[in-house]
Each structure stands twice: as structure tokens, then as C-alpha cells.
A and B are shown apart, each in its own frame.
Chain A
Amino acid sequence: MEAPIRAREALGFILFSLLFSICRSSSLNHLLISNAERRIDLSSHIVKVYLTLKVENAGSTPTSEVFLSFPPTQVDHLATVEALVTKGKRKKTTLVRLDVKPTELPDAPNDAKYFAIYLANPLKSGESTTLEVLYLLTHSQEPFPAEIAQSESQLVYYRDSVLILSPYHIKQQTTFIKTPSTKVESFTRVEPSNRAGTEIKYGPYEDHPPYSFSPILIHFENNSPFAVVEELVREVEISHWGNLQVTEQYTLVHAGARHKGVFSRVDFQSRPTLNGASSLRYLLARLPPRVHSVYYRDEIGNISSSHLRTDSRKSELEIEPRYPLFGGWKATFVIGYGLPLQDFLFETSDDRRYLNFTFGCPLLETVVDKLTIKVVLPEGSKDPSAVVPFPVEQHLETKYSYLDVVGRTVVVMEKKNLVPTHNSHFQVYYTFKPIFMLAEPLMLASAFFLFFVACVAYLHIDLSIRK
């Protein structure tokens, strides 16, 4: 839709559109950022950026939207953007979460993409507020060299702009970059910049106009395994007999520098720190408490290398893949477990039931490229609706499981590019009459009854032609 409208604007309403854009950009120019501090954490393969913006309304009209802009290359890897605002006076500050939504601005230079932060209270003229923004980037560290041998450590590039890309004028800005170790091969120097330990400091830079951009490249060692789940299918099956069965199918890949040449077990076993430093040896999955019947297997059988630790608040499942994963190596596996239903299924006041369960992947420090959650509702449930705190694709399916006749409704939710911060709760509401629970036992009982009746009948009927 956007393109034809724009074409029409360009053709017929040039004047109007020009005026409009001027208006919009001028409304942007009301705001300015008096101070910006950015901390980029590169210690794992998920890039965490903490941005503290002090926004000031220099214009005359109150505004309630603050725009963040990202270069198009970053937007593709942007997993989540969250914004908080500090409320209250000096001591008693509380953080309030704000709505963040992707938006379009008509005059975006070089296809920059925008996110709008909606302030709770409009920012009046002359006022200022401090926003805390957190955004996570995945797949943003490029291994270089792209292929390493077993004994080499993994070096990666990180590219960014030293100046924060913003539609607003920034008076003063500083960027801190935290690297996982002190081994930094090189970094672009933009004075004033200096490196101390694992931290590189850029800035402060004064007075940069909107859309200032100054690329930097940091080449550093990052031996944390790049655990990426290419595809994760979680199936949550509700049984009103008291169990919640979760089955998770993983396709795991080590997305770091590709392994090159020989894999020598003797080196790997005898010198574990030097060899395969970036290899993925185990994963930790955080499961809900009171988990039972946990299994960990793949398509050719059980994988015996796992440990489960449970306490009253959480369960931790430590799993080792069948083999250590080097860069580019893949593995698939399935984790399944049962949970007590009363911990997750609740009733609303209007007699509907809802499942409250975590979205996202229970594995720590992993990126999920594509997640599909299937909530299998019991047979006979109606009017399903899902409430998810962030936009997902949804559709319904039907699944036939043990002795189903009409099939079970499955609510399918799909989301791309997930990080552990997406592990928030979602709800699936539905209505269900408990009488349906008896359908299958009754069916079985009647089938057996008919069978026995048939047997009795057969034994008492004489089918012979001749006496």
C-alpha cells in the first residue's frame, strides 16, 4: 500500500506532500537529545545495547512520541527493543515500561527504520525526560577469519556507528563497548577514544546533527559459543486429567566461525582450554519447577548426557549434545517434559479457562531464528484466543491424538528472531466443558462392550447350513 500512495503523492500532490513532510520533520525537530550514553555489551553472541537518552522538547507543541532510528542492516538483526522511563523524584524512582512500536517515517534517509516510543505523558515544551532503551541484536558479530581450525580461537567483527543514529540533534554522546576479553585485534579510532581492559570508550562527542553516522569496526576475540536454534517447535498439550505435556524440537547450530579441517579428539580431550575454545559443549535449559518425566533424545534414540537439577523454584536441565559443536556443526534433538496442570491453567471469572505459559526458548543464551509454539487444546474446547505481549503470527490447526474423533484445536504462534528476553508469559483463552473429558473412556468402554456382545452372540449363533 505504501508505494502506490507515495507514487500518487509524488505525482499529484507534490506540494501537499512536501508541506506534510516539512511539517513532520519540523515536529521531529522539536525534540533534541541533550545527553546520550550507549553501552554495547559484546560479551556473548547476543549484542546487548543499553541506551540512555535524555530527551528535551525544544519545540512549542507537546509531543508524546520519541523516535529511535536504526540502519536497515541492524533492523534485520534487531530482536527486541524495550524502553523504560524513570518516574518519580530523586530517591524513589521507579521504572515504567513504555510502548515501543515499529513505524515508518516518510523522509527516512537511506532506508533507515524507526521505532516509536510512546510516552505515558506527553512531553511539554521545555521539559525533558530520561529514557532507558534496551535493544538486542542477533547475528551481528561476523566471524573473521570465517573458518578456524580446532586450536584457534574465534575472532569476530562488530560493526556499528560510533555516533548514535538518531533523527534528533544530539548534544553530547558517549559510547562504551564491552568486549568479552582483553584480546582486541583492532578497533577503529575516532578521537577521542581509548581502550581500558575489556572496555572501549568512544566520546564524548559534542553536537552532532540528525542522522550523523560514523562507522566503526571492532575486531576482537569472542570464544563464547554462538548457540543458535535455527528452528524450535514447542508443543504444549493440555490434558484436563492434570498434565501439561511440553515437547520441544530443536535444530541447533553453532553459528560462529566455521570449523576447518581436522577434528582431533585427543587434542580436544587433553587440552580443553586451548582446543575448541569456542566449541559448544553443553547447554543449560531452565524449566519450570515441579517438572517431571523429562526426556532428551533425538531421532535415533535417547541421549544419555544430561543432568536434571530441581528445586522448589526452578528446574535446570543441563544437556550435552551428542558431540561438541564446532562452528557450522549442527545437531537436532527433542526435549520433552510434563508439568502439573494446576500451575499453568487458570479459570477466569466468566468461566473461561486460560493457559499461562512462557513464550520463548528455555535454553539460556541462545538465539532462536524461528519459533513455533503450538498449544494443543483438549478435544471439544472452543473459542481459542491467544494474548501475546509482542506481535506474532497466529493461526489455528487441528491435531488428532489418542482416539480423537473431531480433533483438537491447536493454536499456532510463530515468531522470528527471538532472544531470551522474549521469555515472558502468554495466555491462551478457551472454553471447555468437563463432560468432554469422559468422551474417550466412554468410547473405549462401549467399544469393548460391543466386542463382548459380539462374542457372546457369535457363540450362541449356529451358522452351519446342515444339522
Chain B
Amino acid sequence: MAAPETSTAAVPTLYTNNTLRNAFGGVLSFFILLLIGVLAFSIRLFSVIKYESVIHEFDPYFNYRVTQFLTKKGIYEFWNWFDDRTWYPLGRVIGGTVYPGLTLTAGTIWWLLNSLNIPLSVETVCVFTAPIFSAFASWATYLLTKEVKGAGAGLTAAVLLAMVPSYISRSVAGSYDNEAVAIFALIFTFYLYLKTLNTGSLFYATLNSLAYFYMVCSWGGYTFIINLIPMHVLLCIVTGRYSSRLYIAYAPLVVLGTLLAALVPVVGFNAVMTSEHFASFLVFIIIHVVAFVYYIKGILSPKMFKVAVTLVVTVGLAVCCAVIAVLIALVASSPTKGWSGRSLSLLDPTYASKYIPIIASVSEHQPPTWPSYFMDINVLAFLVPAGIIACFLPLSDASSFIVLYIATSVYFSGVMVRLMLVLAPAACITSGIALSEAFDVLTGSIKFQLPGVTSNAEVDAGETSSDTSEAQTDEVKAEKPDDTSKNRPSKKSKKKERELAENPPAKATAKAKAKAEKKRLLALPLEASVISLLLLVVLGAFYVVHSVWAAAEAYSAPSIVLTTRSRDGLHVFDDFREAYAWLSHNTDVNDKVASWWDYGYQTTAMANRTVIVDNNTWNNTHIATVGTAMSSPERAAWEIFHSLDVKYVLVVFGGLIGYPSDDINKFLWMVRIGGGVFPHIKEPDYLRDGQYRIDSQATPTMLNCLMYKLSYYRFVETDGKAYDRVRRTEIGKKYFKLTHFEEVFTTHHWMVRIYKLKPLKNRIRGKAKKSKSKTSSTSSSKRSGTKKKNPWL
């Protein structure tokens, strides 16, 4: 951290008497960065302090389990891991279907600590991986923004990112998920890209591909990088900003990056075969053509060049048409046009709800509401436009990248609430730029108007650093550097020239700043500056208060343990773990547990029992089978479960204590997903006049389905009325018996209920034979074949 800092501070030679001041600024910003790291880490510890050091939610449990496997069995076993404890009877190739970045990172940290004889458990390492990487991410933001607008903007952006609620929501301690690491990788890749673009150094280009590789390892969102960077390259080419630096920044990334990406088993040949990556190859070709054209232009006389252009264009067009035709034919031959379902739903927001209910059923795949923008990025939403304007004054390669980044991420966040996470860094960077420029202008005009310009010491660090960068720009401009030095100052000076040439009347803040620096004109009135400064500070304070509140209250709950505060103290609902602990200690280790897929990861990780489906929703048919069983009558459900070798069925029920995200509320998705594969399950059968209800008005199909029965079995005996606190109604059918299932465990607050399938009874001959023929078919394809014919009744 220290090295780039001091080098920046050491550049200016014009202000020779200011070297001490710059060195001081460098040390100061180093310590500010250190504090930002501490802030980013510690703001995420609310969950540990308020609850406990525990893995959160659903996916983190899977990652935790994989990490445990990695630390126990080693890396080679991990690559070859075929997990037979999930997706029974299909199993899942974990090594080949998981993004290994997070697991390998945490595994490496654990291994490093243990080889230093620091005996931290794998769980502890996993819990604190996300906060550690948040600190890294804010440092990466500093670097990235520094490449765009100097150190002052960098520090501001870093401090904003350290506590942006959107990122906090995914990276609190315990939220051990891919995104926690991936956001750091994303920002760092962008930083290295911009660094390469600004310096033209092949060293950074190589580092950039390695960072990209790490990103590919970490998260499926790497496709965002491999599409955004080509877009930016294309933008540069189109706007006539092609340079050899651009070539160095892009070509090695595509070649090395694609090769490295193909090394990750989960990506493999997808790195060259799927449509998500085509843009990068297309731009790769284009940039070569452009480079070639520039080269030819250099060696030919203008006249010859024109002739050559016409020749090449005619031939080239023909070849291109042929190639594109072949590509289109290839792509069109695949049913999804070579795009994965999730990517398609990004391009066409209605795609998922039309075709893939399983993607649409996940709440984080829904489009966000307006309040969620305010919740997740708060005041940044208002600062972003100012930041975009600041990026245009002057527009450099780097700042045009930021503009492109924010524009695309705003679109994506509008499609899927989960991708708000990609927007957050962009919003932080642009807001950081906006705030920093505004501070620059305001403090600059105050300084200009005060009689004695000796108030340097009182100026804060951000301002000092931006002064530094400003000084740097001035100095370089004065020098008028030659063409050979292809570094950042030269580019900036070019920018300046262009800006000077077409300088419209100053109306935006950044412009005013430039003028104030240059001509000491157009400074804002003193009172206005002071008041605006105060307002900005208040705005920042509001952001801090909101972020801390969000970190403490909104995003810290681990969701496996719930708490409520009432008059007589804190109530803890630890039912999930109660049920999982029970399963883990009191059932056979090879028993199969069926539940809705939400609880699959937790069951395998906490209870160590084989599950039928889990949160990795790779097999729609299998999930539909479970959905069908849950929405079938008891007998049919028993047969489905029995054919899947299920011993226990787990349902989550919130009716007693009012826990809203229980299985009854998710039930319509089970019906929809089940009905999507097995047409005898029809959604209208479960709805009364289009309304989903479980009271006396509910349809008989609803009242007789397995999910209803397992949820409400003997529920009436708790209060005599069977009042469901979630649906706020009395249930429709209160007294019924279970014939094929028996209750084996219900947790203290009834949140998890576990039923056991009753064993086969001795039956009369004909029936026994029938069920035998069903259970004997073990291969899944065969089973699903018979299922489609047989309505299970």
C-alpha cells in the first residue's frame, strides 16, 4: 500500500518546497486506508456480536461444507469430489460444478494459519473471510478510483464502499458466499485493467489476467467483466481513442484470461463456447483489425492507404459475412441460443417468469423495488449523477470506463435485486468522485477568498491528495511531454488540452474547479461554499448513520436463528438447528431426508444427511418431483417419496409463532414447479378464485395435499382454534389423521416438523405387487418416464 502512495506523493517537482507536505499526505492517506480497512472489517461484525460466530443462511452452509471437505481431504480429492449425499439418487459432481475461488481462499487462509500454529477452526476462518475481503475490496476501490480521479476521490470512494449497505448485506461476518470474495476480485480486475490502460505495462496486463482468473474462480458474475471490458474497448475504438495501451490492456486479457478461465472446471470449454464470451472474441478481432489498420496507415502514404482500404473492406466484408453466418448458425442451433438461463433472464427480464419458475422463485432474482435502492445504496443514488458528470470533465479512458460501468450495472441491478451488488462499487466510485470534486471546489474557493493562504494544515487528507494530483496534472501540462512517454500524466495533459480547446461556460462543479485552479476566477462565494461544505458533511453523516443501522439491524441476522424482543426480554428461536441436530444424532447416517430445496444445503451441512434436492437447482425435474410430492395427496406423495428411498420428510412451519417464510408460503412455487414437469398438478386446483388460501374457503385439493397435512397435523391442539399467525386465519381442515406418515420430531416452536414414512405394510396381493413394481425401478430416467404416464393416483 505504501509504495504507490509515496510514489504519487513524490512526483511533483514544481512544488519543491512542498515535498514534506506531500510525504505527509502519503503517510496520512496510508493510515486513512488502514482505518478504512478496519472500518470495513468491523462494521461487518455486528452479526457476531449480536448473534454468534456462525455461518449464515443457505448457500454459505454449502461453501462451508465444501471448505471442510477441502481442509480434510486436500485439493486433489476436492477436484474429484462426487457428492452422493445430495440430489439422491443422482449425486452431484461438486469439484466440477462449484466456483472454487472462495473455498480455495478460505482453505488457504486456514492452512496458512494452522501452519503458523494458530489453531483457528475452519468455521471461524469461513465466518471472517467476508469481512477480510471487504477490507481488501475497499482498498481495491481506492486504487481503482485513484486511477480515474486521483487519491482524494480514491479515499472517498474507499470509505463509501467500506460501508455501502448493499455490499454489507452480502459480506457480514458469517455470510460466507462467493460474492464476498468476488466483489473484491471484480474491483481489483477493473483496477488492473485501468492501470494497464493508463500505463501500457505488460506487467499489469498479466496481473490483470490473473485477477480475472481469480474472479472466474470465484463467481459466475465474471461474465460481467468479460462483457464490460470489450464494451469499453469498443467504445474507445469508436470514439477514436485507440492506442497501443488499449491494445496491451485488452489483447493479453482475452488470450491469457480465456486460457486461465478454461482451467476452472466449472467453466471449462464454456469459456470459448457460450455466447456470454462471444463479445470478447468479436472485439478481440476488431481491435486487431484496427491495430492492423493503424499500422498500415503508418507505413503507407495516404493515397496508397485509401486504395488499400477499399480493397480490404470489400474482401473483409465478404469474409466477415461468412464467418458471422457460420457463428449465427451455430448459436441458433442450440435451444437457448447459447445463453444460460440466468444470463437470458438478464437480457430479457421477463424470460425467467415465463419459462423457468425455479429461477423466478428465488427472491433475490426478482427485480428490486425503488425503496430497495434507497436501502442499499442510500445517498449514493443522488451522488451518482454528479459523479457521472465529473467523469466527463475531462473524459479520459479510465473515466469513460467508469461511466460505462455504472450505466450497465444500473441496468442489471434493475433486472435482479441480487445484482445490486455489482452496482454498489460503481455507485461508490462515482459518488466518491463527485464528493471529492465538490470538496475540491468548495475548499478551493474558500482558500482563494481567505486572505492568508496558510490554512494548509487544516485541510483534510482527501483535499491534500487531490491537490497533489492536481499539481501533478499542472506540472505535466507545463512540461508538455514528448510522445515516447506513454504514461498517465501525458494522457492527462492531452485531456487538458482538449478540454481547454472546447471549454463551455462553467456551470458544473468540476469545471469551476478547473477554472479556479487556472485563473483564480469564478470562485464560489465564501458563505455558499461553507454552507455547501456543511451540507455535504451532513449528507455523509446521514449515509454513515444509515449504513451502520443497516449493518446492525437489517443485514446481520443469520436467518438460522431468529430473535424477537418482547417485554420480558429476548426470545431466541433456534428451531432450525434443533431439528438439524436431532436429525444428525438420532437418525441413521444413510437416511434420506426430503424437504423443499431451500433447506437442502443446511441439511447436508448441519445434519449430515442425504437430501433429495438442494439449493443448487441444477435438475429441474428432480425438484419438480419433490414439488409434486408435496402437492399430492398423502398416498401419492408417500409413493413418490418411497420410490426415492426417502425416510424422513422435513417441513418448515411458521404458523405457531408467525414466521412468514415457511413452506406454506412457498407452496405455490412447489405447485408451479411441480406442475411444470408433471401436468397433473394444476395450479388452479390450489387456488380459490385465484386466491391462495388455507382457511375454510380453500379448495379440497389444497386441504388434502401433503404440505398442508404435514404443516397442520395436530396444530389445532395447541390453542383449540388452529389459528395460523402467518396467514392470520383459522385453518380450513383442523382434525385429520396421517396414514402414511408419522410425526417423529417437532421443534420447540414448531418451526420445523419432521415426519417419517411409515414402512410398507403387508397388503393384499394385488396392491403389494403394484407397489413393488414401482419401487423396483431405480434408474431415475426410467422413473421419470413412468411418472409422466402415471398420474400417481
Could you tell me which A residues sit within 8 Å of B by CB distance?
261-266, 270, 298, 300-305, 322-323, 328-332, 400-405, 455, 458-459
Residue among B52, B585, B606, B742 making CB contact with A329, cutoff 8 Å: B585
A-B contact pairs, 30 of them (CB 8 A): A262-B742, A262-B744, A263-B744, A264-B714, A264-B746, A265-B745, A265-B748, A298-B581, A300-B54, A300-B606, A301-B52, A301-B561, A302-B52, A302-B54, A304-B574, A322-B578, A322-B581, A323-B747, A329-B582, A329-B585, A330-B585, A330-B586, A331-B581, A331-B585, A332-B585, A402-B118, A402-B119, A403-B118, A404-B117, A459-B6
Q: Indicate whether B750 reaches chain A with its CB closer than 8 angstroms.
A: yes
Q: Indicate whether B457 reaches chain A with its CB closer than 8 angstroms.
A: no
CA distance A331 to B574 in the complex (A): 16
Q: Which 3 A-B pairs have the closest CB atoms?
A: A265-B746, A301-B54, A330-B585
Chain B residues within 8 Å of A400, by CB: 117, 119
Chain A residues within 8 Å of B118, by CB: 402-403
Interface positions of B from 1 to 52, Cβ below 8 Å from A: 2-3, 6, 52
Chain A residues within 8 Å of B717, by CB: 266, 270
Pick the most buried of B119, B561, B586: most chain A CB atoms within 10 A of its CB: B586
Q: Indicate whether B723 reaches chain A with its CB closer than 8 angstroms.
A: no
CA distance A197 to B574 in the complex (A): 43
Shortest beta-carbon distance from A405 to chain B in Å: 8
Q: Indicate whether B635 reaches chain A with its CB closer than 8 angstroms.
A: no
Q: Indicate whether B762 reaches chain A with its CB closer than 8 angstroms.
A: no
Shortest beta-carbon distance from B27 to chain A in Å: 12
Chain B residues within 8 Å of A305, by CB: 574
Chain A residues within 8 Å of B2, by CB: 455, 459
Chain A residues within 8 Å of B744, by CB: 262-263
CA distance A302 to B563 in the complex (A): 14
Given known pairs A304-B572, A402-B118, A459-B3, the reply for A329 and B586 (CB within 8 Å) is yes
Nearest chain-B residue to A304 (Cβ)? B572
Nearest chain-B residue to A261 (Cβ)? B742
CA distance A344 to B116 in the complex (A): 30
Q: Indicate whether B743 reaches chain A with its CB closer than 8 angstroms.
A: yes
Shortest beta-carbon distance from B301 to chain A in Å: 36
Q: Indicate whether B439 reaches chain A with its CB closer than 8 angstroms.
A: no
Chain B residues within 8 Å of A298, by CB: 581
Q: Indicate whether B247 reaches chain A with its CB closer than 8 angstroms.
A: no
CA distance A422 to B109 in the complex (A): 43
Shortest beta-carbon distance from A200 to chain B in Å: 36
Chain B residues within 8 Å of A261, by CB: 742
- Asked if residues A322 and B586 are in contact (CB atoms below 8 Å), the reply is no
Chain A residues within 8 Å of B572, by CB: 304
CA distance A400 to B717 in the complex (A): 55
CA distance A322 to B6 in the complex (A): 56
Pick the most buried of B6, B574, B581, B586: most chain A CB atoms within 10 A of its CB: B581
9 additional contacts (CB under 8 A) given A323-B582, A330-B586, A404-B117: A265-B746, A298-B581, A301-B560, A302-B52, A304-B561, A322-B577, A331-B585, A455-B2, A458-B3
Residue among A265, A328, A330, A401 making CB contact with B117, cutoff 8 Å: A401
Q: Indicate whether B718 reaches chain A with its CB closer than 8 angstroms.
A: yes
Interface readout for B524-550 with A: 1 if CB under 8 Å, 0 if not?
000000000000000000000000000
Interface size on B, residues (CB 8 A): 32
Residue among B6, B116, B580, B745 making CB contact with A263, cutoff 8 Å: B745
Interface readout for B772-786 with A: 1 if CB under 8 Å, 0 if not?
000000000000000
Interface readout for B579-603 with A: 1 if CB under 8 Å, 0 if not?
0111001100000000000000000
- Asked if residues A265 and B750 are in contact (CB atoms below 8 Å), the reply is yes
Interface positions of B from 254 to 282, Cβ below 8 Å from A: none
Chain A residues within 8 Å of B3, by CB: 458-459
CA distance A331 to B581 in the complex (A): 8
Chain B residues within 8 Å of A322, by CB: 574, 577-578, 581-582
- Asked if residues A263 and B585 are in contact (CB atoms below 8 Å), the reply is no
- Asked if residues B119 and A401 are in contact (CB atoms below 8 Å), the reply is yes
Interface readout for B737-773 with A: 1 if CB under 8 Å, 0 if not?
0000011111110100000000000000000000000
CA distance A402 to B113 in the complex (A): 9
Nearest chain-B residue to A270 (Cβ)? B717
Chain B residues within 8 Å of A300, by CB: 54, 577, 580-581, 606
Chain B residues within 8 Å of A455, by CB: 2
Secondary structure dominating the interface of A: loop
Shortest beta-carbon distance from B569 to chain A in Å: 12
CA distance A302 to B560 in the complex (A): 11
Nearest chain-B residue to A295 (Cβ)? B52
Shortest beta-carbon distance from A281 to chain B in Å: 11
Shortest beta-carbon distance from B564 to chain A in Å: 13
Chain B residues within 8 Å of A458, by CB: 3
Nearest chain-B residue to A399 (Cβ)? B119
CA distance A455 to B1 in the complex (A): 11
Interface readout for B550-564 with A: 1 if CB under 8 Å, 0 if not?
000000000011000
CA distance A263 to B747 in the complex (A): 10
Pick the most buried of A264, A270, A305, A328: most chain B CB atoms within 10 A of its CB: A264
Pick the most buried of A300, A329, A403, A459: most chain B CB atoms within 10 A of its CB: A300
Chain A residues within 8 Å of B748, by CB: 265, 323
Chain A residues within 8 Å of B718, by CB: 266
CA distance A31 to B605 in the complex (A): 65
Residue among A265, A301, A459 making CB contact with B747, cutoff 8 Å: A265
Nearest chain-A residue to B174 (Cβ)? A301
Shortest beta-carbon distance from A404 to chain B in Å: 5
Nearest chain-A residue to B116 (Cβ)? A403
CA distance A322 to B572 in the complex (A): 12
CA distance A329 to B574 in the complex (A): 19
Chain A residues within 8 Å of B116, by CB: 403
Shortest beta-carbon distance from A324 to chain B in Å: 9
Interface readout for B281-302 with A: 1 if CB under 8 Å, 0 if not?
0000000000000000000000
CA distance A270 to B720 in the complex (A): 12
Shortest beta-carbon distance from B485 to chain A in Å: 14
Chain B residues within 8 Å of A405, by CB: 117
Pick the most buried of B116, B585, B714, B743: most chain A CB atoms within 10 A of its CB: B585
Nearest chain-B residue to A252 (Cβ)? B585
Shortest beta-carbon distance from A335 to chain B in Å: 15
CA distance A303 to B572 in the complex (A): 10
CA distance A261 to B744 in the complex (A): 7
Given known pairs A265-B747, A266-B714, A459-B6, the reply for A323 and B606 (CB within 8 Å) is no
Nearest chain-B residue to A400 (Cβ)? B117
CA distance A304 to B574 in the complex (A): 8
Chain A residues within 8 Å of B119, by CB: 400-402
Chain A residues within 8 Å of B6, by CB: 459
CA distance A79 to B581 in the complex (A): 31
Nearest chain-A residue to B61 (Cβ)? A300
Chain B residues within 8 Å of A302, by CB: 52, 54
Interface positions of B from 700 to 752, Cβ below 8 Å from A: 714, 717-718, 742-748, 750
Chain A residues within 8 Å of B582, by CB: 322-323, 329
Chain B residues within 8 Å of A332, by CB: 585
Shortest beta-carbon distance from B112 to chain A in Å: 13
- Asked if residues B117 and A402 are in contact (CB atoms below 8 Å), the reply is yes
Residue among B117, B560, B745 making CB contact with A323, cutoff 8 Å: B745
Shortest beta-carbon distance from B676 to chain A in Å: 34
Chain B residues within 8 Å of A403, by CB: 116-118
- Asked if residues B577 and A301 are in contact (CB atoms below 8 Å), the reply is yes
CA distance A314 to B742 in the complex (A): 45
Given known pairs A270-B717, A403-B117, the reply for A303 and B745 (CB within 8 Å) is no
CA distance A313 to B117 in the complex (A): 37
Nearest chain-B residue to A402 (Cβ)? B118
CA distance A329 to B580 in the complex (A): 14
Chain A residues within 8 Å of B578, by CB: 322-323
Chain B residues within 8 Å of A265, by CB: 743, 745-748, 750
CA distance A238 to B690 in the complex (A): 68
Chain B residues within 8 Å of A401, by CB: 117, 119
Shortest beta-carbon distance from A352 to chain B in Å: 27
CA distance A92 to B265 in the complex (A): 85
